[in-house]
Structure 1
Amino acid sequence: MTDLRQDTLAAFAEIFGRDADGLWSAPGRVNLIGEHTDYNEGFVLPFAINRRTVAALGLRDDRIARVGSSFADEVVEIDLDRIGPDTLGGWSGYPLGVAWALGQFGADLSAVPGFDILIDSNVPVGAGLSSSAAIEGAVALALNDVWQLGFDRRTLAAVGQRSENVVVGAPTGIMDQSASLLGQHDSAVFLDCRSLEAEIIPLGLEEAGLEIVIIDTGVEHAHATGGYAERRASCEAGARALGVESLRDVSVADLDRAREVLDDVTFRRVRHVVTENQRVLDTVRTLRESGPTAIGELLDASHRSMRDDFEISVPELDLAVETAQANGAIGARMTGGGFGGSAIALVPTDAVSRVFVALDGAFAEHGFGQPELFTVTPSEGAKREN
């Protein structure tokens, strides 16, 4: 992380010809459990990870916003008076969309100066670890500070979500941004996506001798394309057919009635969300009562539900989960929006190397590309670095 910070500050000076006023960072996230429940006003349990996006920013004395990135050759420039969903696109829509969305939450964009910003990251893109929310969190915190807006972190999470929904066109919930902004060390964020109430839940992984292994399959996914939006539409259709505001209002006990009312596909989509909400609540209770060694079956059940009912897994994810389970993982599941990305496995520290070797062998045997394997630590959320 030190090199990432220093490299970004040096690159800012080289590209923009001056030193940055400051450096901010925000983490990616792993969702321990609670997939596709967020936009159904349900419960999620993500945690921030020790892979971060950094944003070096310097204010200007005019109304121009310029944004550059380590993952794009161009510097995009726009007048703040022209900023909006119709004028933004491509990768720069993520940081510049945040500036627009701050105005939607009450910031007077006609009264703030322009800025130069440079973004770099070690959060893998397309791996289901929310590289987009890390960008949004770092930029939102930076602009909130330098423009002296005074928004709290829950508001900044909503700003990031608005930007992603409207500017980027990805119909995501608020989970990713909340985890990136609210995370704490060795803890998860228990988020009620209806009330937006958040509670920090200690995970106790260090004391239990457990690691979170990330298995990046290399199969990229994108929230702004078809499958994710189709699943969201199915959930909304199921809620309408059941006469409720959202699937948050459907309990496990209601599923028998839902089966009678809904077609088979919509029912299975609904069943995933309803049972996943219950699994989040059960995971929080189990962590409090018995600690992390007792949550494995809940993780396993979550993956089966996403594979069979929500149908968002892919063969690489299924192989990752099955291989980890067979080689010492307490529990494993795909994480993120699906259709690619990563799986997570909860693994005793002394079994991590065995899981890594088994995964490399299994992917090679099946003719899949080699997965990227690494561990992550639940870490603190967005912050100013200097």
Structure 2
Amino acid sequence: MTTPPTAATPPSWLPAWTLEQGRELVTTLFGATFDGAPAGTFSAPGRVNLIGEHTDYNGGLALPIALEHRTHVALRLREDSRVRLVSAQGDGVWEADLEAVAPGAVTGWGAYLAGVAWALRQAGHDVPGFEAAVDSCVPFGAGLSSSAALEASLAIGLDALLDLGLGADDAGRSALAAVCVRAENEIAGAATGGMDQAASLRARDGYALALDCLDGSVSHEPFVPAGCELLVIDTRAPHSLNDGQYASRRATCDAAAAALGVPTLRHWLDAAPDAASAVADAQARLDDDVARRRVRHVLTEIDRTRLAHEAMRAGDWSAFGTLMDASHESLRVDYEVTVPELDVAVGVAREAGALGARMTGGGFGGSAIALVPGGTSDAVAAAVVAAYAERGFAAPAFLTSRAAGPAA
């Protein structure tokens, strides 16, 4: 049982490892588990999505950054089709045979990695078995894409060791991201969109990734919020995307798009003169109130993301913060994916001086982010700790990060 904090409990900070620290940890774990040394070590970042939530599977827009916190993998190919995996965050060795990997055939954390190899095979690549050791400073279950970081670290490693050449340019990294999405959707059984994998593989150091999920195109916008810093709050609330709630939201959106006669809700928005008209016309055509609210969130969130991208370009961080606030309210009221821990973290951060705050990731637990004046992260974090203590919530944890680089 997790002990709630007291009002005097200091904030718990989660630092990122250096690349050298991560490399040493996984190399040591590999050698202690398997005979010999790995052929190479690889890593991939977690992410925070600045704005654009639950838009990816609706053909919308998203604006994530890669974190400095990364998952590291030490990797060696085998001559057979056997997969053997060890994780510093797990017990024992996870094993499977690639010949037997298929949708519904494997379970556990290793399914995310075996799924990457399976999806590469499905794409026509000759992928043998392998041994891998994994360690990570991306908080698990925090809504910061620990699963995508896991997938991307292996994908970039297999690409390198097999000389596939996909990691050399953005088109190839886009293909690797699609492989990772198939792994997560079809083998691990989580019905996520593609934003997480794109951020982990296609981000650029110092830039936010402006992702158009309709056609997969990206642009890179400098993320240097003058006079501000980005505080990430891991609420420690239980977080899962394969318990049916995420999939039900996606199914509702798919059904609504079909009822509106469009391939995705993005198509509906793009055909309208503005977001308000798109929402009004959609609500007039849909009979179910839940579907109306879900669609309203998606259409307005895509529009908010466009506006946030413009505010970022203009350096208008006050406007950016206001859009973050509106995003969270839409996710709370219309999409219903927040929990009390997220709402309290967001509300307290605003009261403590944040320009804007919102949940990030799929919701149902996980993390919140706050754009706070420079030098105030400690004070905002302390206020959140105190508020959690008053309510008997488990102690949260915190991290800060600049926009970091992709899987490598």
Fold match, TM over 0.5?
Answer: yes
CA distance in 2, matches of 1:218, 1:29: 17
2:129 aligns to what?
114
CA distance in 1, matches of 2:366, 2:261: 34
2:157 aligns to what?
142
CA distance in 2, matches of 1:12, 1:293: 47
1:126 aligns to what?
141
Query: What is the one-letter code of the residue matched to 1:224?
Result: N
Larger mean CA deviation between 150-159 and 2-11 belongs to 2-11
How many aligned residue pairs are there?
378
2:116 aligns to what?
98
SS in 2 for 1:117: strand
SS in 2 for 1:24: strand
- 1:302 lines up with 2:327 in the alignment: yes
1:159 to 155, 165, 179: 179
Cα deviation for residue 86 of structure 1 reads 4.0
CA distance in 2, matches of 1:338, 1:172: 12
Cα deviation for residue 380 of structure 1 reads 0.3
Cα deviation for residue 254 of structure 1 reads 1.9
What TM-score do the two structures reach when normalised by structure 2? 0.90
CA distance in 1, matches of 2:324, 2:205: 21
SS in 2 for 1:283: helix
Cα deviation for residue 176 of structure 1 reads 0.1
Q: After the TM superposition, which parts of structure 1 deviate over 6 Å for at least 4 consecutive aligned residues? A: none
What TM-score do the two structures reach when normalised by structure 1? 0.95
**Structure 2 unaligned spans of 5+:** 1-16, 167-171, 270-274
CA distance in 2, matches of 1:307, 1:340: 12
CA distance in 2, matches of 1:365, 1:76: 41
Larger mean CA deviation between 343-352 and 322-331 belongs to 343-352
Residue pair 1:272, 1:306 contacting (<8 A) in 2 also: yes
CA distance in 2, matches of 1:292, 1:138: 33
Query: What is the one-letter code of the residue matched to 1:60?
Result: R
Cα deviation for residue 293 of structure 1 reads 4.4
Cα deviation for residue 133 of structure 1 reads 0.1
- 1:179 lines up with 2:199 in the alignment: yes
Query: Cα deviations across residues 169-213 of structure 1 (Å, max 9, x unaligned)?
Result: 1111110000001112221111111110011111123xx132111
**Structure 1 unaligned spans of 5+:** none
Query: Cα deviations across residues 105-156 of structure 1 (Å, max 9, x unaligned)?
Result: 22134xxx43211111010111100000000000000011111222210000
1:26 to 11, 21, 44: 44
Larger mean CA deviation between 158-167 and 100-109 belongs to 100-109
Residue pair 1:203, 1:291 contacting (<8 A) in 2 also: no
Query: What is the one-letter code of the residue matched to 1:202?
Result: P
CA distance in 1, matches of 2:211, 2:155: 20
Residue pair 2:279, 2:296 contacting (<8 A) in 1 also: yes
Query: Cα deviations across residues 23-80 of structure 1 (Å, max 9, x unaligned)?
Result: 0000000000000000001111111001100010012233322111112212123333
1:78 to 96, 114, 139: 96
Q: Structure 1 pair 80/229, CA: closer, same or farther in 2 (3 Å)?
A: closer
1:320 aligns to what?
345
Residue pair 1:203, 1:292 contacting (<8 A) in 2 also: no
Query: What is the one-letter code of the residue matched to 2:147?
Result: S
CA distance in 2, matches of 1:80, 1:127: 29
Residue pair 1:27, 1:49 contacting (<8 A) in 2 also: yes
Cα deviation for residue 241 of structure 1 reads 1.6
Query: Cα deviations across residues 254-300 of structure 1 (Å, max 9, x unaligned)?
Result: 21122222221110100000000001111111111234343110000
2:235 to 211, 214, 217: 217
Residue pair 1:185, 1:378 contacting (<8 A) in 2 also: yes
1:237 aligns to what?
255
2:25 aligns to what?
7
Residue pair 2:98, 2:114 contacting (<8 A) in 1 also: no
2:285 aligns to what?
261
SS in 1 for 2:231: strand
CA distance in 2, matches of 1:150, 1:261: 48
2:76 aligns to what?
58
Identity %: 48
CA distance in 2, matches of 1:258, 1:92: 42
Query: What is the one-letter code of the residue matched to 1:196?
Result: G
